[in-house]
Amino acid sequence: MAADKGVYIVTGANSGIGRAIARKLALMGLPVVMVCRNPEKGEEARAEISSGAPGMVELVQGDLGDVEGVHRLAAELLRRQKRIACLINNAGIWMQRREVNADGLEITFMVNHLAPFILTNLLLPRLKENAPARVVNIGAGLYVFGTADPERTPSGLDFSRSRTYADSKLCSLLVMLETARRIDGTGVTINAVHPGVIRTGLGDGPGPLGLLIRLMKRFASTPEQGADAPVWLATSPDVGGVSGKFFMLRKEGKLTDTARNEALARSFWDLSVRLGKIKDAP
């Protein structure tokens, strides 16, 4: 994709993989929009990245923690960006205890699944106008341990410190696959990618589980290494036109039976449209 084709929007771009993705894109000379919740940390990251890269780097403040906040973010992005080449839904959290937002939604489900779903749907008309365009969701191989209960998962009634992160990634994957089916032929592709086990603060916490995760990360990849597959999926002509796939790094991953359950995917699609207050879903 040429630099004049449109901007590359990266959520959660002030640290970790998101920051590394934004840096790599900017070093390629591509225009980047960093979406960050904290404007001070976001500006520090933007300044550092833009100082050594030829690509334009902008910052947009946005909070993915509630439905109204995501709608406001989408409106601001549409106001400021007339052409969008790619949306990279990177922002993610791993909550240590159940918390719900003002919408009554569990925060992990909101940030990891519903927020990317809302943002993708609200930006979809602009992406279609600028086709070919791409959406890349940062997924996780841990989705294979997840469960998806339309009655309990959204509000966290089935919250588990060890499993809810995987639940949210399964929900996101199910709805990504349904989205791909619905937008087929529009010139917009959507895929998910597991970037590897990365040395970030995701999942760190107290107790034996937190200790185990920290020990595993001693052998994990750096954020820069983790940015490789998402940037490849966002930019490479090798995957131009590829849609509805889950990649483990640069290789297509095998989906579980649950992930291939189209009835479950449609159920979560309809639920996400309602919870996300989407009026014109495809």
Catalytic residue annotation: 165
Residue pair 262/174 in contact by the 8 Å Cβ criterion: no
- Give how far Cα 10 sits from Cα of 95, 247, 256, Å: 21, 18, 28
Contacting residues for 76 by C-beta, under 8 A, at least 6 apart: 60, 62
User: 3-class DSSP state for residue 196?
Assistant: coil
Three-state DSSP class for 119? helix
User: E strands within 149-278?
Assistant: 188-194, 246-248, 251-252
Structural tokens at position 16: 């970790």
Question: Cα(86)–Cα(8) distance, rounded to whole angstroms?
Answer: 5
